[in-house]
Amino acid sequence: MATTFEVVAEPRRREILELLRGGEHLVGDLGERLSLAQPAVSKHLRVLREAGLVDVRYDAQRRWYRLRPEPLLEIDAWLAPFRRLWSESLDALEQHLETMPDDPGTKED
């Protein structure tokens, strides 16, 4: 089975997850929004479902897909150290900017 990283590495799957972030969608709706044929969308949804990233709800003949964000915690945990790195860099930039004069035409001596 593919890891969450491998599954979301595919750009179309990320687009599907982004659409599902806004709520449930039918396969046909996803296909229209992505300009993809229904079989291609279904293939991506199967991979996402097997990875636990989406759930399906059956309503008669229709299948509603929705996001399951829990598996994305793996990616979030992996990104945490990088987020801290960026946060430290941005804090340093903020401190530097606070020491600069307010008027760009003024020189500090």
| 31 pLDDT more than 90 | yes
Whole-angstrom Cα distance, residue 101 to residue 92?
17
Q: Which residues, in sequence order, are bridge partners of residue 25? A: 65
- CATH class held by domain 1-99: mainly alpha
Task: Enter the pTM of the model.
Answer: 0.74
Residues 37-74: tens digit of each pLDDT: 999 999 999 999 999 999 999 999 999 999 999 999 88
What does the domain layout of the chain look like in residue ranges?
1-99
In terms of Cα–Cα distance, which of 68, 58, 92, 94 is closest to 7?
68
